[in-house]
């Protein structure tokens, strides 16, 4: 029995180290086959995945396993973010615990002062601010350097689904259990605007690299893009209806105007100035994001039910 267990463990480790490589996509064999959250490093070279109680680091060029980081969590990880300079890793779980790893100083801090479990995390591009969203609808924003609470936002949602800082760290976008998306002053918590356009929950929010556009997805099957150069006077620029079921997420490509988005049932749409194409992934999708790259090659990461994380080109992949 011990010999069988050892052989099985070695087989799994070998698969984790190499991933499964196909002609037009890579599949990483994480411990959990249902990864609910992941994030790219600032360069896009690696992905950090919330993998059961631990963090799995993956090579985003090959899908290969790099290493695993044990956490202090006692329940499944539900949110994860790495700072743009890869010096601070933050995780949140169903245990309500917020864990902050500062790699340069080997400090590990655990905070458990929120209500409910953690549903989303965001770190500002200058690594100065950390925003935490909870299943209770609360948002708590910290000074990440001093780990000091700056402000809280309550009573706007009954549950937070996503939060993100703008690239210049001046705005915080918040999605949750309601049809509006909040646009907030990131330093003070003052609400700039409530963006309408969805008929049900908003699910995902993301800024383009210049911070001039904000993309939101919703349970109404719609993707909306707002011009937010003036956060006090945002306007809806683009609205797309993809399906009858909710859009789980979307992201901008490097040209700041093209984008990719996906429904929960596996439809992945890429829209550029030259082409709009929709392909079908035969799995429930939990999250989708675009790999940061300096060239024009498009590669996205998708966490899908029973498949761990897939890396693929949304314009060319075929998944049988």
Average pLDDT, the chain: 88
The predicted structure's pLDDT at residue 296: 62
pLDDT above 70 as % of the chain: 91
Structure tokens at 14: 């070998």
Comparing 170 with 9, the larger pLDDT belongs to 170
Alpha-carbon gap, residue 271 to 279, rounded angstroms: 12
Comparing 104 with 18, the larger pLDDT belongs to 104
The predicted structure's pLDDT at residue 76: 96
pLDDT surpasses 60 at 32: yes
pLDDT surpasses 70 at 3: no
Residue 253's Cβ-side half-sphere holds a number of Cα atoms within 13 Å equal to 20
pLDDT surpasses 80 at 20: no
Alpha-carbon gap, residue 70 to 29, rounded angstroms: 18
Any bridge partners for residue 100, and if so which? 90, 109
Residue 138's CB: how many other CB atoms inside 10 A? 19
The predicted structure's pLDDT at residue 94: 97
Question: How many residues are present in the chain?
Answer: 320
- Per-residue pLDDT tens digits for 50-78: 999 999 999 988 889 999 999 999 999 99
The predicted structure's pLDDT at residue 315: 83
C-beta of residue 32 within 8 angstroms of C-beta of residue 52: yes
- Per-residue pLDDT tens digits for 91-143: 999 999 999 999 988 899 999 988 999 999 999 999 999 999 999 999 999 99
Stretch 174-202: mean pLDDT: 93
pLDDT surpasses 50 at 209: yes
C-beta of residue 118 within 8 angstroms of C-beta of residue 134: yes
Alpha-carbon gap, residue 10 to 131, rounded angstroms: 39
* Sheet with 222-227: strands ordered across: 202-207, 213-218, 222-227, 235-241
CA dihedral 120, 126, 127, 129 (to 10 degrees): -60
- Per-residue pLDDT tens digits for 243-296: 767 899 999 998 888 999 999 999 999 998 888 999 999 899 999 999 987 666
Alpha helices in the chain (DSSP H): 2-18
> What's the pTM?
0.90
Long-range contacts, 26-29 (Cβ 8 Å, 24+) = 26/62, 26/63, 26/310, 26/311, 26/312, 27/63, 27/307, 27/308, 27/309, 27/310, 27/311, 28/58, 28/63, 28/64, 28/65, 28/308, 28/309, 28/310, 28/311, 29/65, 29/308
Structure tokens at 187: 């330093």
């Amino acid at each position: 029995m011990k010999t069988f267990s050892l052989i099985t463990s070695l087989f799994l480790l070998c698969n984790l180290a190499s991933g499964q490589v196909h002609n037009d996509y890579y599949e990483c064999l994480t411990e959990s086959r249902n990864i609910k959250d992941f994030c790219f490093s600032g360069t896009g070279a690696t992905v950090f995945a919330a993998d059961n109680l631990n963090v799995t680091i993956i090579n985003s060029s090959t899908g290969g396993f790099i290493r695993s980081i044990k956490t202090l969590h006692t329940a499944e990880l539900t949110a994860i973010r790495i700072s743009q300079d890869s010096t601070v890793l933050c995780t949140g779980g169903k245990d309500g615990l917020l864990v902050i790893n500062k790699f340069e100083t080997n400090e590990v801090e655990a905070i458990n002062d929120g209500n409910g479990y953690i549903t989303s995390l965001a770190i500002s591009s200058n690594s100065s601010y950390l925003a935490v969203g909870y299943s209770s609808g609360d948002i708590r924003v910290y000074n990440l350097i001093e780990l000091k609470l700056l402000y809280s936002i309550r009573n706007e949602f009954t549950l937070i689904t996503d939060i993100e800082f703008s690239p210049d760290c001046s705005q915080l976008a918040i999605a949750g259990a309601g049809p509006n998306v909040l646009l907030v002053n990131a330093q003070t918590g003052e609400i700039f605007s409530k963006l309408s356009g969805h008929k049900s929950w908003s699910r995902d929010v993301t800024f383009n690299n210049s911070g001039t556009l904000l993309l939101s997805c919703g349970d109404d099957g719609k993707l909306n893009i707002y011009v937010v150069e003036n956060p006090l006077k945002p306007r809806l620029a683009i609205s797309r209806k993809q399906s009858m079921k909710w859009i789980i997420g979307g992201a901008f490509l490097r040209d700041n105007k093209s984008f990719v988005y996906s429904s929960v049932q596996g439809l992945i749409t890429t829209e550029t100035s030259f082409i709009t194409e929709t392909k079908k992934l035969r799995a429930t999708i939990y999250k989708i994001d675009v790999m940061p790259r300096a060239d024009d090659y498009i590669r996205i990461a998708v966490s899908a039910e029973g498949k761990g994380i897939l890396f693929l080109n949304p314009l060319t992949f075929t998944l049988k």
